[in-house]
Structure 1
Amino acid sequence: MENIQNTQNISICENGLYLDIEITESKDVRLLHFSPFPLKIQELGTEEARRRFRIVEIQTTGEDQDDHHGSKYTGTLPGNRLKYMSHNDLRNEQGRKLEIAMKDEGILVTVHYQFYNDIPVIRAWTEITNVSDSSVGLEYVSSFALTGIAKEGSNSWEAKSRLHVSDNTWHGEMKWRSNTLPELGLTRANDSSLKRLSYSTSGTWSSEGLVPMGCFENIERDTCLFWQIEHNGSWHWEISDVANHLYLQLSGPTENENHWWKSVAPGETFLSVPVAVGIVAGQFEQAIGELTRYRREIRRPNQDNEWLPVIFNDYMNCLFANPTTEKILPLVDAAAEAGCEYYCIDAGWYADGEWWDEVGLWLPSQVRFPGGLKEVTEYIRSKGMIPGLWLELEVMGVNCPLADKVSDEWFFMRHGKRVIDHGRYQLDYRNPEVLKHADEVIDRLILEYKVGYIKMDYNINAGIGTEVGADSFGDGLLQHNRAYLQWLDSVFGRYPDLVIENCASGGMRLDYALLSRHSIQSSSDQTDYRKYAPIVASAPTAITPEQCAVWSYPLRDCTEEEVIFNLVNCMLMRVHQSGHLAEISSERFALIREGLNYYKSIRQDIAGGLPFWPLGLPSYGDSWICLGLRCGQKAYLAVWRLESEQDTIKLPIHFLAGQDASVLCGYPQRQDCDWHWNPEGGALTVTLPSMNCARLFELQ
């Protein structure tokens, strides 16, 4: 940056990241560069262009927006008036930490960048303190803002840019799409257009519609900028152009998109939602690898993600939320014989019959369990497994006996009425009585029934928020989101070995606010094992493999290939075994036992593996799908042949090119498929015997 005159500079090279901040004589603060390569001054353009490289954007009520912006968050005020005060460059346990303090009349703003040792990712957030004598209304606060994301290279940003976004829906999670910006409708109309690419989710399902992450690829310079928003509620991010440059801005909830508005009182401080941002010299696969390493770094230390125990859950293609002692005991015997280490009783254990809109007391049904629920949990323990139970502790059914006995302040309220979704009220975790109720349920299940696993489900979306004790609906939601995380922290503080699965109708809350705490995440409620394969193969983009629970649920009258396919689905992640194991044929049961034994022999590798995709990320309708994990000197490869007339596929394994690698079929261990390794081309050719079959290979 030596060619920029009359400025102060903050230039950092850390963990392969080059970060350059310009502070002008007038104390304007600009984030000029975030890249795996050193800054080239000529790529920035004119002083007028550099002025648009804002380090933060903040819009407050009653202020103008100093830009012809449309719906974009550019030219915000007081964001564009902030002046440099000081900065702090320090080290902590995670790595380097950079804090840049700025001020405008009445507010102090600090931008935080936390680096992580040896990982090209930062966590970023914004801190705003009101030092005036009157309240300040916040409408938008960026957690991370970067202009010039496509400045490197000679081609136009239309020609060299690709955006990767993951759509997310019930039974169809983590469906990635990749587009050029013109394909999405963004082209250079002027030096700054009014069009933006806007991505948001509102409500208590953080990944309904979209996973809160993305990736921007500069195909000319072969770089990938990637990010995730670490929040369990509403969020927003956008990409557009300003001063002939592209920008990226990430935030939590906003007023325009998410009904969030916050009044910051004199002396009060507001913290934005944290986000993670990284960039690599490489492609999407390398970006996900670094994001996987970062996710492991920020996660709560726990034995579950080291041991990867096998879980049996009696819901999917099995009891389907209709458990009884009579039905469970044979399944416990079969699960133990198969090699499972946890047995989770899924929904229905707390009600005599239909239960959907009556949940909330969480007391076991005496009709379902004539000898008591403890008889069943003790039987599970007697078979060498740890018992688990299903809960949905953030809601209360509209017909729950408790619902009419407690005040409205227990629940989300809008326009003076309780919020109802799908027969349930949303509990407000800011309320001390709600916390007391939740703690009593958790303590009772653990202390009385010796439960060591909880499947924490969440099957509603309570919408934009609550008006109780809040400046806006979205403010109430954000407060609740943070209160729920604090409650989770308190539970793990009391019971550090408790395993709590994060589930929201499968994968409707795939965010690393929750996943930095939970050790395991439901990937989907998909009931068809064949449709599950593309979900599984995409899952490591959003979840570390050792946190990703995948169902294996062969039917009673299944074929052998169905059993194998089900096991291969979950082999490189976390096994959620289900199905009527007590009624399946002995031959099929032997295949399940073989698969679980094999999984136990490789699971210590999975806990540190990094994903790769020889055929690229899957799409629905693909005839062949492949997912690999690189685990030190060894690699594992799951291969699925779906509706393909071709029985053979060539799989490029570039990192083994030139090596005389050994290959074996790890599961099933029988000679009914063929393979050939070509070291010169670095490719594995695989032949599978029929449509809708799968195999797992080892390479080293």
Structure 2
Amino acid sequence: MGEISHLERHRAWVLTGESSTYALRLDEDDVPTHLYWGPPLPTDAVEELSTVKLPWWDGFNDPNEGLDELAADGGTRYWTPGLQVRFADGTRALEWRYETHEISRDHLAIHFTDRHYPLRIALHYRLRTDVLERWTELTADTEVDVVRADSATWPLPLRDDYRLSHVTGRWAAETQLHRTSAAHGETVFASRRGIAGHHANPWVMVDDGTATERHGEVYGVALAWSGSWRLTTTRASTGRLTISGGFGQDGVVHRVGPGKPLRTPVLAGLYTGGGFGAASRAWHAYVRNDVLDHGRELRPVLYNSWEATGFDVSEQGQRALAERAAALGVELFVMDDGWFGARTGDHAGLGDWHVNRARFPDGLKPLVDAVHGLGMRFGIWVEPEMVNPDSDLYRAHPDWVLHHPHRRRSELRNQLVLNFARPDVGAWAHEWLDRLVGEHGVDFLKWDMNRPFSEAGWPGDADPDRLWVEHTNAVYALMDRLRADHPGLRIEACSGGGGRIDLGMLARADQVWTSDNTDALDRLRIQHGYSQLYPARAMSAWVTDNPNFVTGRSVPLRFRFHVAMAGVLGIGGDIVRWPGDDLALAAELIALYKDIRPVVQHGALYRLRPPVDDGVTALQYVHEDRAVVFAYRQAAHFAAPDRPLRLEGLDPADRYVDSDSGSTHSGAVLLAHGLPLTLPTGDFASTVIRLRRISR
């Protein structure tokens, strides 16, 4: 849980997690100033730090610059601002005045006002084991323009060098991991798209350039926000590096005033001394325990009909797929696009959320009942935030979409974006979704969002910029309301693949669609980047047909299954056409996955060999007395023998039995020497090894 203490004499606060300490104080001008972030420190050591005075060493650099807990624009500090305000008389600078603070178990709130203007600022800190959540709240008695409102600024300790770890990508190539030296000046990671985006993800990790998977100090921050976002690293000539981040983008102004407070999303931070692997395991535990609403559940094996049918959906065809899926051991059947309105392609019908009676003459209930009768849950695809111009909804409400007067309405995928910041749009969406779930007994929604914002205007509204924040908040509110009204409902977040993966969405969704690219070879790299921050418990991964529809590559069925089994297993192929041998193997591997599922979805991940080349890559999950190892040979070269695979996370004093071969191994040998690895010959060879501890 952690501990928060107030050092009144030093006007300082200390937040102590299980294996880290964070400390801040007020300087002589009441500016909240960073003191320490790193390995555990006793209170008297923090007191010693609080007495250190930083002298001016030239006439150009404020010694406290870069140490603000929320860097505010103004005065002699020229650091990247986390807070920029503009008062009615044109004044921009902020002057802090401390008012009070509150400590409630794991939560610290420090309250400030501006020394002249009626603006109130509250800085919030909440401990979650070793993850520290931070956010800011702004209120005012008269209207104030807030040009930038980051959730927090995170000053890092002085180091000889800094290295940034982050992910980039695009559609079908999400979460590609990069590590690069931090440039001097400002480096901005951002999305201006209204969604988190495929091209980046709202997190960054920092080390001194020497950290490895197993060793070294790593600092990381991650933003819980599913709209436009910005993370800025600033590295100055003085040597210091900070990270500041939050929602919003350049040119978008937040208005704060009577009845219009502003609360920023959580920007969470984590320190570890155990390298990138320990950092990932801590983030995974945080997501499972403190972010996911049902994080202790086991996610079911899923079947999705999209690749089998596309838009050619019918009750008879879905029944045939459901019967085959149930026979394989699938637990959740999901019908994808094409069940509603005039939706025979992506050009029409989106927004008309009524059952297509030509395809389902008696509605959806007979299919839902049939799926339930087969012992499976029923799920369905929806895209509530979108509309086709060729739809009854758009013809009735053309003003409901994001648009500017006198500007064209740009279409992507024949779609426009509905303005969920409008209460009438939110009410409409809740009405049909509540009816769809409640009347049909729907257990699962695949919630898609297939295009970013464009022409993001709101004609006639006095504060149109607010839609950038309020759209996302309205989506959150809708999901929260549906889940409260239907406690059994589970949701998968999707955005053309992995365009909406973030901590904010994971607080509402039970899993995320990682990428539209299901090619098993590509997925090794996509899943590797995903795993840096997010857990397998939420990573939806499918086995689909050969050749893959994105890459055209053909990969053996066993390899495809083994890659998908490292997350939340799903099937997406046309299983009615699979030959008998493939069906038998699929049933066997689904049964295997159900056995190892608690270890994969709730276990600690160890990335044993990353997919940095085309050789053997391997990962391991450890949970309670069990370990599961996945090993994949991507390509065979020069008849090279397989090297022993050194495992992690085991007890060296115990022995472990292989559940399939019956052979036993010393934990010490597995850790120091390695597990003998015998993969089948040739390319795309893979294996799953199950180990159980048999002695203490």
Please state which band the TM-score falls in when normalised by the shorter chain. 0.7 to 0.9
Say whether 1:15 aligns with 2:9: no
Q: How does 1:77-88 map to 2 (within 5 A)?
A: 81-88=94-101
Segment drifting more, 213-222 vs 197-206: 213-222
Say whether 1:25 aligns with 2:37: no
User: In 1, distance between residues paired with 2:201 and 2:370?
Assistant: 40
Say whether 1:137 aligns with 2:137: no
Alignment match of 2:510 (pick from 519, 529, 538): 519
Alignment match of 1:90 (pick from 84, 103, 108): 103
Give the 3 Å change call, closer, same or farther, for CA 6–308 of structure 1 in structure 2. closer
Instruction: Give the number of equivalent residue pairs.
Output: 656
1:142–1:249 CA contact under 8 A, matched in 2? no
1:676–1:686 CA contact under 8 A, matched in 2? no
User: In 1, distance between residues paired with 2:580 and 2:667?
Assistant: 32
User: In 2, distance between residues paired with 1:88 and 1:455?
Assistant: 42
2:632–2:684 CA contact under 8 A, matched in 1? yes
Shift of residue 146, structure 1, vs aligned partner: 2.4
**Residue of structure 2 equivalent to 1:563:** 557
**Residue of structure 1 equivalent to 2:3:** none
Q: How does 1:52-451 map to 2 (within 5 A)?
A: 52-59=66-73, 66-67=76-77, 72-73=80-81, 81-92=94-105, 95-106=106-117, 107-116=119-128, 119-131=129-141, 133=142, 135-147=143-155, 149-151=156-158, 156-157=160-161, 161-181=162-182, 186-187=183-184, 195-219=185-209, 222-242=216-236, 244-256=238-250, 259-266=251-258, 268-302=260-294, 306-316=297-307, 318-350=308-340, 351=342, 353-370=344-361, 372-408=363-399, 410-417=400-407, 418=409, 420-451=411-442
Say whether 1:589 aligns with 2:583: yes
SS at match of 1:439: helix
Segment drifting more, 466-475 vs 382-391: 466-475
Shift of residue 251, structure 1, vs aligned partner: 2.6
Give the 3 Å change call, closer, same or farther, for CA 572–346 of structure 1 in structure 2. same
Q: Percent identity?
A: 18
Residue type matched to 2:157 in 1? A
Q: TM-score, normalised by structure 1?
A: 0.86
Unaligned runs of 5+ residues in structure 1 are 188-194
1:65–1:76 CA contact under 8 A, matched in 2? no
1:57–1:141 CA contact under 8 A, matched in 2? no
Residue type matched to 2:276 in 1? F
1:30–1:53 CA contact under 8 A, matched in 2? yes
SS at match of 1:216: strand
Q: TM-score, normalised by structure 2?
A: 0.86
Segment drifting more, 242-251 vs 600-609: 242-251
**Residue of structure 2 equivalent to 1:651:** 645
Residue type matched to 1:126 in 2? T
Segment drifting more, 681-690 vs 73-82: 73-82
User: In 2, distance between residues paired with 1:660 and 1:7?
Assistant: 49
Give the 3 Å change call, closer, same or farther, for CA 501–681 of structure 1 in structure 2. same
User: In 2, distance between residues paired with 1:44 and 1:478?
Assistant: 40
User: In 1, distance between residues paired with 2:460 and 2:239?
Assistant: 41
Q: How does 1:543-582 map to 2 (within 5 A)?
A: 543-555=534-546, 562-582=556-576
2:233–2:244 CA contact under 8 A, matched in 1? no
1:43–1:151 CA contact under 8 A, matched in 2? no
SS at match of 2:394: coil
User: In 1, distance between residues paired with 2:535 and 2:518?
Assistant: 22
Residue type matched to 1:698 in 2? R
Give the 3 Å change call, closer, same or farther, for CA 680–546 of structure 1 in structure 2. closer
1:251–1:273 CA contact under 8 A, matched in 2? no
1:215–1:225 CA contact under 8 A, matched in 2? yes
2:164–2:180 CA contact under 8 A, matched in 1? yes
Residue type matched to 1:297 in 2? N
Give the 3 Å change call, closer, same or farther, for CA 18–309 of structure 1 in structure 2. same
1:66–1:76 CA contact under 8 A, matched in 2? no
Segment drifting more, 629-638 vs 489-498: 629-638
Residue type matched to 2:230 in 1? H
Segment drifting more, 582-591 vs 675-684: 675-684
Residue type matched to 1:165 in 2? H
Give the 3 Å change call, closer, same or farther, for CA 75–370 of structure 1 in structure 2. closer
SS at match of 1:322: coil
SS at match of 1:306: coil
User: In 1, distance between residues paired with 2:84 and 2:387?
Assistant: 41
Say whether 1:503 aligns with 2:494: yes
Say whether 1:630 aligns with 2:633: no
User: In 1, distance between residues paired with 2:20 and 2:402?
Assistant: 43
Shift of residue 647, structure 1, vs aligned partner: 5.2
Give the 3 Å change call, closer, same or farther, for CA 344–263 of structure 1 in structure 2. same
Give the 3 Å change call, closer, same or farther, for CA 21–354 of structure 1 in structure 2. closer
1:677–1:683 CA contact under 8 A, matched in 2? no
Residue deviations 1:543-586 (CA, integer Å, cap 9, x gap): 32121110112449999972211221222321111212222222
User: In 2, distance between residues paired with 1:170 and 1:12?
Assistant: 40
Give the 3 Å change call, closer, same or farther, for CA 115–530 of structure 1 in structure 2. same
Say whether 1:34 aligns with 2:45: no
Alignment match of 2:609 (pick from 582, 605, 615): 615
SS at match of 2:352: coil
**Residue of structure 2 equivalent to 1:696:** 688
Residue type matched to 1:478 in 2? V
Residue type matched to 1:436 in 2? A
SS at match of 2:645: strand
1:166–1:210 CA contact under 8 A, matched in 2? yes
Residue type matched to 1:613 in 2? R
2:302–2:571 CA contact under 8 A, matched in 1? yes
Residue type matched to 1:293 in 2? A
Give the 3 Å change call, closer, same or farther, for CA 370–130 of structure 1 in structure 2. closer
Shift of residue 649, structure 1, vs aligned partner: 3.8
Shift of residue 150, structure 1, vs aligned partner: 3.5
Q: How does 1:669-688 map to 2 (within 5 A)?
A: 678-679=669-670, 681-688=672-679
Residue deviations 1:330-381 (CA, integer Å, cap 9, x gap): 2111101001111111111224632433311122223333454333222222
Give the 3 Å change call, closer, same or farther, for CA 683–670 of structure 1 in structure 2. closer
User: In 2, distance between residues paired with 1:5 and 1:494?
Assistant: 46
2:101–2:110 CA contact under 8 A, matched in 1? yes
User: In 1, distance between residues paired with 2:604 and 2:197?
Assistant: 23
Give the 3 Å change call, closer, same or farther, for CA 241–469 of structure 1 in structure 2. farther
2:168–2:176 CA contact under 8 A, matched in 1? yes
SS at match of 2:556: helix
User: In 2, distance between residues paired with 1:174 and 1:651?
Assistant: 26
Q: Which has the higher strand share?
A: 1
SS at match of 2:541: strand
Segment drifting more, 197-206 vs 350-359: 350-359
**Residue of structure 2 equivalent to 1:190:** none
Shift of residue 37, structure 1, vs aligned partner: 4.2
SS at match of 2:297: helix
